[in-house]
Amino acid sequence: MSALETTTRTRDDGAARSPVVLQVRDLTTHFPVRNGVVKAVDGVSFDVERGRTLCVVGESGSGKSVTARSILQIVDAPGRIVSGSMVLHRPDGSKVDLAKLNPRGREIRAVRGAEIAMIFQEPMSSLSPVHTVGDQIMEALRLHLDMSKAEARARCVELLRQVEIPNPDKAVDRYTFEFSGGMRQRVMIAMSLACNPSMLIADEPTTALDVTTQAEILDLIRRLQQQHGMAVMFITHDMGVVAEIADDVIVMYHGKVMEYGPVDQIFHAPKNDYTKMLIGSVLKLEQKAEIRLKRPPRDNAAPPVLEVRNLEMHFGKPGAPLKAVDDVSLKVFPGETLGIVGESGSGKTTMGRCLLRVYDPNGGEIDYRRADGEVVDIVKADKATLKQVRREIRMIFQDPVGSLNPRMTVAQIVGEPLLVNGIASGKELDERVADLLKQVGLEPAWRERYPHAFSGGQRQRIGIARAIALNPRVIVADEATSALDVSLRSQMLDLMMNLQDKLGLSYVFISHDIGVIRYMCDRVAVMYRGRVVETGATEQVCDAPAHAYTQALLSAIPRPDPRARTMHKRHRYAG
Amino acid sequence: MSEAAIAGGAVAADPKRLAVASQWQLMWWAFKRHRAAMIGLWITVILYVIAVVPGFFAVNDPAKQNARAAYHPPQALHLIDTAEDGSWSIRPYIHPYVLKRDPQTLASIFTPDTTKKVYLKLFGQGFEYKVLGLFTASTHLFASENPNQPLFFFGADRLGRCVYSRIMEGAQISLSVGLVGVLMSLSLGVLLGGISGYYGGRVDFVIQRVIEFVLSLPTIPIWLALAAALPQDWPAVLNYFMITVILSLTGWAQLARVVRGRFLSLRTEEFVTAARLDGASEGRIIFRHMLPSFASHIIASMTLAIPAMILAETSLSFLGLGLQPPTISWGVLLREAQNIRSIATAPWLFAPGAAVVLAVIALNFLGDGLRDAADPYNK
């Protein structure tokens, strides 16, 4: 405990200190709930220094966002700051303790936006859709700096130019829905810079963005920080981002600071067990899974279990269709894992859903080879055949919350495919369900509970149990680990690979995360704007990509090693 | 984020209890926090108990006329009985009123006779009434100890009928019209809204236009026209039934819209896709997977639709086109208060209006609370 005490209070590095902007000591924020109190932030202490970036990292529920929100006193009800101090040092030498200010008072309002600015995760919902971009930025200028309308407009154009929005004098009069997600986040940053704040709090600002956009935003924040000399507090769950941008790191777990130190120490000499586990699970996903290393080489002579040829899926009007899937051809061999990687909007999810004919493709063929050697074209299959095929090709969904019916117990959810296909009922069904839960590492006694009583990782296991209930041959896993914390990801992937060996499954594994693909997949197909631009063995695609888009994509991914910062070397793909 | 922290902490605090809390339990916890809704719930329960056995709560036969009690004013109820020696006991009584005639105008003047006391008896015997037409009883919540001395808590109307007892009797029809009418609009609304939302496309287009047409009809003139078209010589029960049909013909459209919206949003939920891929039939997807997710929303919308039905029946009957006397409903009772004379001489004839207001407010509070509690997961 005493060791922890020292790490929470001081950073033990000899580096010359920059002037402190914000000094947080023993911050405690509680959420009273029906049966007790949740200590979301429990005695957290740190310093934010001028010109440096402090990364707050932790898994969901670790209290990192609540810490950031406590600083500006915008914690959601019923949460409140119980104790601690947050001393803001102003450039003129005066100090103010933010914890003592009235959350609705004039003083804290003067701090928000003007001295400490904040940007949020969702660039879609944190900007108002009914005001122009210029109006929203000018509001801050006129409120805090008392500028005239013309001055504010000129400053606004200047700010938009700083965040590299093209044609800033025209963009001022545009509405937010005319911008893409990355551009909106730039607008948010411009807005936060409006009053030259001494500190910027960024709460997962790139989580909702694609990796290539993320790289640009991180680059922008870094450059602006150097220009303005701001202190940045950056909240994220992505260790790659931390390694790329942090000077100092706080690792949080269950509201407490586990470790606090310079970024190199956190990554290369972690002291705390939790930090070690976290770094370990990140590094584990940087290489091929151990389970796969042990496997004997696959027999390539077998005919493919699934063969997609010239698949087309269009949305919208027939005259000017949006080609979500455009002339895609793929092969999935028995027992292999085919990774589909791409950014949002690349059509990877749509393609995956076409394989089960959730959508009716506009053209092409999906030949499925059944166990007895018969080949069925899923695109043209009739109702009865489709029902048969859907028993053999199953799906694991991305969202562990939305894909489980909240009004059904786990036993009902897992047993549903067995029940509706008339395979088991009554006592036999109950036994089968208990067995399935055991296979995915869940306690069979929990089967009478509802999904909301389970954590995200457990829910995803329920989804896997439902998928394997019918003894399938192929499983389409759509971003199956994206909603999970990094420490759970490798566990989930290991489970899926163990089941693969046991049940002889083939996976079509859709993901935007190259790390997960590298860990899990034998071969990978890279999708970009509905087309497959590159297919090949995972090692080959990840280490020596042939296509320019794959190269750009890989160069934008932050590596979890602060000694190998590569972001500045990245290149863009203009296709 | 903070939500996740709360959920995680709560599970750690009491894992067993949280794990077994079903949807309805969560709803009940959320509902209990809504104080106005709890009051609304109690009043609604009491009102519907009255609607089931109005005779038990009445003190006089609601149909019995009494020429000597025309425009009898409300009698004050005394709770504490003081004896001559100064001792006291809790024993409710009223002073009987004596009828005199003004020698010049011959108008009746009622004056309380403070020398006499008529005591009330809890669960005493009185007139005979039928419970839901099944069996007869004669026990009442209150009964006068002297059967020849009638009680008029809320006064009497121009034929000397007890207003209080008639309000109790009217509750049966007025409140059940709301319930039956809403059940009818519900079946229509769920059916059409469900088809519209689940299948979408052309079917949805046609049903939506029909709903818009129904909603664009001016309701009161349509009710009046339809009610006027009912033959006058139909028996009371058939008349009542037709009135509820007329009311629900316009009421289903709103419910259909609610149901359609829920279906549309649920149709794209991943668990519905999952059920389809599990091989579940369309019927099973609709009834087993989708309907339970918004049953609570439907109950809430229903509760909010009942007051509208009650008000509609009251308006129709008040205008003389709904239910006809001798059927007793709150709207029929309010017809007695249609002329200026009643305002001047017998303002207590407005008492049924107070009953309508009470019922409508209580149901609205209840519906509001249910709507807020309806989705315990999306908090």
Determine contact, residues A364/A309, Cβ cutoff 8 Å.
yes
Percentage of chain B beyond pLDDT 90 is 2
* B80 confidence band (pLDDT: 50, 70, 90): confident
pLDDT tens-digit readout, B308-349: 888 888 888 888 777 777 788 888 888 877 777 777 777 888
- Cα–Cα distance between A24 and A8 in angstroms, integer? 11
pLDDT at A234: 93
A286, A310, A329 — which closes off a domain?
Answer: A286
Tell me whether residue B8 is in a domain: no
Q: Which tokens in the block code for residue B209?
A: 């236009």
CA-wise closest residue to A283 among A560, A476, A77, A82: A560
Tell me whether residue B58 is in a domain: no
Report whether pLDDT(A375) > 80.
yes
Do B281 and B344 reside in the same domain of the chain? Answer: yes
Do B281 and B315 reside in the same domain of the chain? Answer: yes
Does residue A129 have a cis peptide bond before it, meaning omega lies within 30 degrees of 0? no
Tell me whether residue B275 is in a domain: yes
Asked if A450 reaches chain B (Cβ–Cβ under 8 Å), the answer is yes
pLDDT at B366: 87
Do A428 and A354 reside in the same domain of the chain? Answer: yes
What is the amino acid identity at position A112? Answer: R
Do A273 and A422 reside in the same domain of the chain? Answer: no
Report whether pLDDT(B21) > 70.
no
Do A355 and A272 reside in the same domain of the chain? Answer: no
Asked if A551 reaches chain B (Cβ–Cβ under 8 Å), the answer is no
Asked if A74 reaches chain B (Cβ–Cβ under 8 Å), the answer is no
The string of DSSP codes covering B334-369 is HHTT-SHHHHHH-GGGGHHHHHHHHHHHHHHHHHHH
pLDDT at B2: 39
**What is the side-by-side order of every strand in the sheet holding A474-478?**
A393-396, A474-478, A506-511, A337-341, A523-528, A531-537
Determine contact, residues A132/A174, Cβ cutoff 8 Å.
yes
Residues of A in contact with B279 (CB under 8 A): 387, 390-391, 417, 420-421
- Cα–Cα distance between B8 and A455 in angstroms, integer? 8
Provide the domain limits for residue A521: 290-558
* B1 confidence band (pLDDT: 50, 70, 90): very low
B130, B160, B190 — which closes off a domain?
Answer: B160
Tell me whether residue B46 is in a domain: no
Do B249 and B205 reside in the same domain of the chain? Answer: yes
Tell me whether residue B131 is in a domain: yes
CA-wise closest residue to A450 among B373, B292, B273: B292
Do A281 and A303 reside in the same domain of the chain? Answer: no
pLDDT at B174: 85
Name the helix (H) or strand (E) containing A433: helix A426-439
B126, B160, B194 — which closes off a domain?
Answer: B160
Report whether pLDDT(A5) > 70.
no
- Cα–Cα distance between A279 and A86 in angstroms, integer? 29
CA-wise closest residue to A529 among A308, A345, A309, A317: A345
Selected residue with higher pLDDT from A393 and B116: A393
What is the amino acid identity at position A73? Answer: Q
What letter does residue A443 receive in the DSSP assignment?
-
Give the alpha-carbon dihedral of A418, A424, A425, A430, to 10 degrees. Answer: -80
Report whether pLDDT(B3) > 70.
no
Name the helix (H) or strand (E) containing A242: helix A239-245
Tell me whether residue A262 is in a domain: yes
Region of poorest pLDDT, from A206-210, A426-430, B37-41, B46-50: A206-210
β-strands A337-341, A363-369 pairing? unpaired
- Work out the end-to-end distance of chain B between its first and last CA atoms, rounded to an integer number of angstroms: 13
β-strands A95-97, A36-49 pairing? unpaired
Determine contact, residues A263/A252, Cβ cutoff 8 Å.
no
Taking CA atoms, what residue in B is nearest to A204?
B1
- Cα–Cα distance between A332 and B164 in angstroms, integer? 80
- Cα–Cα distance between B221 and B240 in angstroms, integer? 19
Asked if A390 reaches chain B (Cβ–Cβ under 8 Å), the answer is yes
Task: Measure in Å the smallest separation between the Cα of A539 and chain B Cα atoms.
Answer: 33
Do B153 and B289 reside in the same domain of the chain? Answer: no
Determine contact, residues A44/A252, Cβ cutoff 8 Å.
yes
Do B185 and B81 reside in the same domain of the chain? Answer: no
Do B184 and B155 reside in the same domain of the chain? Answer: no
A417/B279 CB distance under 8 A? yes
Asked if B6 reaches chain A (Cβ–Cβ under 8 Å), the answer is yes
Task: Measure in Å the smallest separation between the Cα of A72 and chain B Cα atoms.
Answer: 15
Tell me whether residue B45 is in a domain: no
What letter does residue A569 receive in the DSSP assignment?
G
A32, β-bridge pairs = A37
Do A275 and A295 reside in the same domain of the chain? Answer: no
A366, β-bridge pairs = A308
CATH code, B352? 1.10.3720.10
B9/A75 CB distance under 8 A? no
ipTM for the assembly: 0.77
Determine contact, residues A81/A28, Cβ cutoff 8 Å.
yes
How many CB pairs (< 8 A) connect A and B?
114
pLDDT at A248: 92
pLDDT tens-digit readout, A471-485: 999 999 998 888 788
Do B241 and B359 reside in the same domain of the chain? Answer: yes
Tell me whether residue A430 is in a domain: yes
Do B137 and B194 reside in the same domain of the chain? Answer: no
Region of poorest pLDDT, from A465-474, A509-518, B222-231: B222-231
pLDDT tens-digit readout, A42-90: 889 999 998 899 999 988 878 888 898 899 888 887 888 888 999 999 8
pLDDT at B377: 53
Determine contact, residues A468/A496, Cβ cutoff 8 Å.
no
Selected residue with higher pLDDT from A176 and B212: B212
A453/B273 CB distance under 8 A? no
Do B193 and B138 reside in the same domain of the chain? Answer: no
- Cα–Cα distance between B43 and B366 in angstroms, integer? 9
A76/B2 CB distance under 8 A? yes
Asked if B280 reaches chain A (Cβ–Cβ under 8 Å), the answer is yes
Tell me whether residue B192 is in a domain: yes
- Cα–Cα distance between A194 and A230 in angstroms, integer? 13
Determine contact, residues A389/A381, Cβ cutoff 8 Å.
yes
Helices then strands, each counted (H, E), chain A: 21, 20
CA-wise closest residue to B309 among B372, B237, B229, B254: B254
Tell me whether residue A20 is in a domain: yes
Handedness of CA A53, A54, A56, A57 (dihedral sign): positive
Report whether pLDDT(B10) > 70.
no
What is the amino acid identity at position B347? Answer: P
Task: Measure in Å the smallest separation between the Cα of A102 and chain B Cα atoms.
Answer: 21
- Residue A355 Cα distances to A478, A532, B234, B274, angstroms: 12, 15, 63, 14
Give the alpha-carbon dihedral of B246, B247, B250, B252, to 10 degrees. Answer: -110
Q: Which tokens in the block code for residue A274?
A: 């939790």
Contacts of A556 (CB under 8 A, 6+ apart): A211, A212, A214, A215, A567, A570
Q: How many domains does chain A have?
A: 2
β-strands A53-57, A248-253 pairing? parallel
Asked if A303 reaches chain B (Cβ–Cβ under 8 Å), the answer is no
Do A445 and A296 reside in the same domain of the chain? Answer: yes
Tell me whether residue A174 is in a domain: no
Tell me whether residue B172 is in a domain: yes
Do A276 and A379 reside in the same domain of the chain? Answer: no
Count the neighbouring beta carbons within 10 Å of the beta carbon of residue B197. 25
Q: Which of A356-360, A486-490, B72-76 has the highest mean pLDDT?
A: A356-360
Asked if A395 reaches chain B (Cβ–Cβ under 8 Å), the answer is yes
Provide the domain limits for residue B116: 66-160
Do B186 and B263 reside in the same domain of the chain? Answer: yes
Do A253 and A329 reside in the same domain of the chain? Answer: no
B160, B179, B204 — which closes off a domain?
Answer: B160
Do B267 and B362 reside in the same domain of the chain? Answer: yes
Taking CA atoms, what residue in A is nearest to B269?
A402
Selected residue with higher pLDDT from A11 and A573: A573
Task: Measure in Å the smallest separation between the Cα of B278 and chain A Cα atoms.
Answer: 5
- Cα–Cα distance between A55 and A64 in angstroms, integer? 10
Do B178 and B198 reside in the same domain of the chain? Answer: yes
Asked if B277 reaches chain A (Cβ–Cβ under 8 Å), the answer is yes
Q: How many domains does chain B have?
A: 2
By Cβ distance, the residue of B14, B20, B279 closest to A420 is B279
Residues of B in contact with A406 (CB under 8 A): 23, 271, 293, 377
Indicate the average pLDDT of chain A: 86
What is the amino acid identity at position A195? Answer: C
B280/A416 CB distance under 8 A? yes
pLDDT tens-digit readout, A141-199: 888 788 888 888 998 998 888 888 888 888 888 888 888 777 888 888 888 888 888 99
SS3 content of chain B, % helix, strand, coil (to 5): 60, 10, 25
- Cα–Cα distance between A257 and A498 in angstroms, integer? 35
CATH code, A262? 3.40.50.300
- Cα–Cα distance between A312 and B215 in angstroms, integer? 43
pLDDT tens-digit readout, A200-239: 999 888 887 788 888 888 888 888 888 888 999 999 988 8
Determine contact, residues A281/A287, Cβ cutoff 8 Å.
no
Instruction: Over range B221-246, report the average pLDDT.
Output: 78
Do A372 and A410 reside in the same domain of the chain? Answer: yes
pLDDT at A6: 39
Cβ-based burial of A158 (10 A; exposed 0-12, middle 13-18, buried ≥19) = exposed
Does residue B326 have a cis peptide bond before it, meaning omega lies within 30 degrees of 0? yes
By Cβ distance, the residue of A60, A66, A416 closest to B275 is A416
Do A413 and A279 reside in the same domain of the chain? Answer: no
Give the SS3 label for residue A337: strand
B284/A420 CB distance under 8 A? yes
A402/B8 CB distance under 8 A? no
- Residue B69 Cα distances to A353, B142, B151, angstroms: 79, 20, 10
